[in-house]
């Protein structure tokens, strides 16, 4: 595995096209782990960044910051103020239910100052659905007439039902096997921007640069399979360099792109986008749920070549995750196999594997609790989001679970090394190391597993980071592992945390 670079630098000895690739993660130090603080307010993100820095997180993915639709009574009978109203832009003003423009600026500056960077979820492919109303910053909009004076956009700025654009009778995507429909028709009725038009490009680039200039280090770009790669490349190429207040001169914003693909005959695939940035690897999430659940004949021993060996994209192109804000709700691929915080035992095991395994850039989910899959974040009757209070029954904060936050340190200690010392103990119990930097045993059998292991680790005593607060002794009453001659006897119980993990 190659070590991710913090910036893209075209040295004199290399031939580079100007700003053609934006897929190098922007991180401070030896880390590349992203946490998605889904629907957190900017003030709460700012307050969390100091702790995230101590834990070793690279960056925070934040929810879309632009002005969005406000839906107290959605037409489909969903609960008021659903989570997805954030994905219906009204204008590019940085004023959302997460906070004001100034609160956004304060968050970016606070987090950058402690070396935790902000990756914005950028919704630049579409605007709202067909309804009309007022956005989170007070701007009027009319989706039926495609009128968005807050930008401004008007009807000419959207794809139309015509032979060279959208060819369906409904104006919506009807067949995902037809690439033209996917890229020129509406996604579930959302007004589809004409991203190849100069004026639209100018507005989108201006929106992205307004955030880059504040200090945003990168973007998760929403719904990329619905946009031509050349349009996205135009946006990325025309972004400003990152501010030298926090980043080396010439540093480029990082981009990772949502391209949903889990195999089959769909004509639009992740590899169509990897030349301009990283891409979310949905096959990773969909398959790992089956493996840890033991569905479809899957078992942990099959993880030995997880990644490219399973037909996934190159690890240097991939962003990987156990779940995301869509598929934890049953939206998107994976279905019931997707592991979420509701499957806490399996979820902790799978996340331990994600952070231990040398494939892709890992992203950790941090959710709010939900029963209704359309429900928005914890809020009052007017849709005002409550302050985050982890573990209060409303904010789940998986990234703060000991078994997950400590594995960030494991990941960082092993970053840049390959897998070593693989051991298949049984069908559903495995162990592997990271070239003398770290070692993990995962037990998904129905009983305790105990064995002698060749770890490759330096001799000494190590604290198990799954059961302990840190990696170094004294371990007190939590688990410890003694390595002698590179070998260790390790027992992994069949309890709520059936993993043992150690690192230097």
pLDDT in tens, 128-141: 999 999 999 999 99
**Average pLDDT rounded to a whole number, residues 450-469:** 98
pLDDT at 176 over 80: yes
Euclidean distance between the first and the last CA atom of the chain, given in angstroms as a whole number: 19
Predicted confidence band of residue 169 (pLDDT cuts 50, 70, 90)? very high
Domain ranges within the chain, ordered by starting residue: 34-414, 420-503
- Residue of 222, 233, 323, 497 marked catalytic: 222
Q: Enter the pTM of the model.
A: 0.95
Cα–chain center distance at 472: 30
pLDDT in tens, 275-305: 999 999 999 999 999 999 999 999 999 999 9
Q: Which residues pair with 140 in a beta bridge?
A: 134
Fold classification of 420-503 (topology level) = Immunoglobulin-like (2.60.40)
Q: How far apart are CA 184 and CA 227, in angstroms?
A: 8
For the chain, give the mean pLDDT.
96
pLDDT at 504 over 50: yes
**Average pLDDT rounded to a whole number, residues 178-182:** 98
Q: How far apart are CA 89 and CA 365, in angstroms?
A: 23
Is the separation of the CB atoms in 373 and 329 below 8 Å? yes
pLDDT in tens, 42-97: 999 999 999 999 999 999 999 999 999 999 999 888 999 999 999 999 999 999 99
Q: What was the pLDDT predicted at 439? A: 99
Of 154, 125, 128, nearest to 228 by C-alpha is 125
Question: What SS3 state is found at 50?
Answer: helix
Place of tokens 């590019």: 92
Residue 399, both tokens:
């990234």
Is the separation of the CB atoms in 101 and 93 below 8 Å? yes
Strands (E), 86-240: 117-122, 132-134, 140-142, 218-221
DSSP summary character for residue 303: G
Q: How far apart are CA 443 and CA 410, in angstroms?
A: 18
pLDDT at 15 over 80: no
Residue 121, both tokens:
């979820």
Q: How far apart are CA 46 and CA 58, in angstroms?
A: 14
Predicted confidence band of residue 463 (pLDDT cuts 50, 70, 90)? very high
Q: How far apart are CA 479 and CA 488, in angstroms?
A: 13
Q: Could you give the count of Cα atoms lying within 13 Å of 406 in the half-sphere of its Cβ?
A: 23
Q: Lowest mean pLDDT: which of 18-27, 42-51, 224-233, 285-294? A: 18-27
Strand pairing category for 218-221 and 140-142: unpaired
Q: How far apart are CA 152 and CA 500, in angstroms?
A: 55
Q: What was the pLDDT predicted at 378? A: 99
Distances in whole angstroms, Cα of residue 343 to Cα of each of 288, 289, 350, 351:
13, 10, 10, 12
pLDDT at 11 over 60: no
Active site residue 343: no
Q: How far apart are CA 335 and CA 343, in angstroms?
A: 14
pLDDT at 9 over 50: no
Active site residue 222: yes
Scored b (16 or more CB within 10 A) or e, 198-222 reads eebbebbbebbbbbbebbbbbbbbb
pLDDT at 14 over 50: no
- What is the DSSP track for 320-387? E-S--TTGGGT-STTGGG---GGGHHHHHHHHHHHHHS-SSEEEEEE-B--SSTT--SSB-TT-PBPP
- Residue of 103, 192, 231, 258 marked catalytic: 258
pLDDT in tens, 329-379: 999 889 999 999 999 999 999 999 999 999 999 999 999 999 999 999 999
For 34-414, CATH number out of 1.10.287.3510, 3.40.50.410, 3.40.50.1950, 3.20.20.80 equals 3.20.20.80
- Matching CATH topology for 34-414 and 420-503? no
């Amino acid at each position: 595995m190659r070590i991710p670079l913090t910036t893209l630098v075209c040295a004199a000895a290399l031939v580079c096209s100007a700003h053609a690739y934006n897929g190098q993660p922007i991180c401070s130090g030896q880390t590349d782990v992203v946490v998605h603080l889904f629907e957190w307010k900017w003030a709460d993100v700012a307050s969390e960044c100091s702790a995230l820095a101590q834990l070793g997180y690279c960056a925070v993915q934040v929810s879309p910051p632009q002005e969005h639709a406000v839906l107290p009574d959605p037409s489909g009978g969903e609960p008021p103020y659903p989570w997805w109203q954030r994905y219906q832009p009204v204008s590019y003003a940085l004023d959302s239910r997460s906070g004001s423009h100034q609160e956004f600026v304060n968050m970016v500056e606070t987090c950058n100052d402690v070396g935790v960077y902000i990756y914005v979820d950028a919704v630049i492919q579409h605007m709202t659905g067909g309804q009309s109303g007022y956005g989170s910053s007070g701007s009027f909009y009319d989706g039926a007439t495609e009128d968005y004076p807050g930008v401004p956009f008007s009807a000419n700025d959207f794809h139309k039902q015509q032979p060279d654009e959208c060819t369906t009778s409904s104006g919506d995507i009807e067949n995902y096997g037809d690439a033209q429909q996917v890229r020129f028709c509406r996604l579930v009725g959302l007004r589809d921007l004409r991203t190849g038009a100069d004026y639209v490009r100018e507005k989108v680039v201006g929106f992205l640069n307004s955030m880059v200039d504040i200090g945003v280090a990168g973007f998760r770009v929403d719904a990329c399979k619905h946009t031509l790669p050349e349009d996205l490349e135009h946006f990325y190429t025309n972004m400003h360099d990152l501010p030298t207040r926090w980043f080396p001169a010439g540093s480029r914003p990082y981009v990772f792109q949502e391209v949903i693909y889990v195999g089959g005959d769909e004509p639009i695939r992740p590899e169509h986008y990897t030349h301009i940035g990283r891409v979310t690897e949905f096959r990773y999430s969909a398959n790992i749920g089956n493996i840890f659940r033991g569905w479809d004949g899957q078992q942990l021993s099959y993880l030995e070549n997880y990644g490219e060996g399973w037909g996934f994209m190159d690890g240097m192109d991939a962003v990987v995750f156990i779940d995301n804000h869509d598929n934890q709700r049953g939206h998107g691929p994976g279905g019931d196999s997707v592991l979420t915080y509701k499957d806490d035992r399996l979820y902790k095991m799978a996340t331990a594997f994600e952070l231990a395994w040398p494939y892709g850039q890992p992203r950790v989910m941090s959710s709010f609790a939900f029963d209704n899959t359309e429900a928005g974040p914890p809020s009052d009757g007017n849709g005002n989001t409550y302050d985050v209070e982890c573990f209060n029954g409303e904010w789940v904060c998986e990234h703060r679970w000991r078994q997950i936050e400590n594995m960030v340190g494991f990941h960082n200690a092993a970053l840049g090394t390959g897998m070593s010392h693989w051991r298949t103990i049984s069908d559903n119990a495995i162990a592997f190391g990271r070239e003398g930097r770290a070692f993990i045993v995962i037990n998904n059998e129905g009983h305790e597993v105990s064995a002698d292991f060749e770890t490759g680790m330096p001799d000494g005593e190590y604290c198990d980071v799954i059961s302990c607060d840190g990696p170094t002794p004294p371990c007190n009453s939590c688990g410890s592992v003694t390595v002698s001659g590179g070998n260790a006897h390790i027992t992994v119980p069949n309890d709520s945390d059936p993993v043992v993990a150690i690192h230097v």
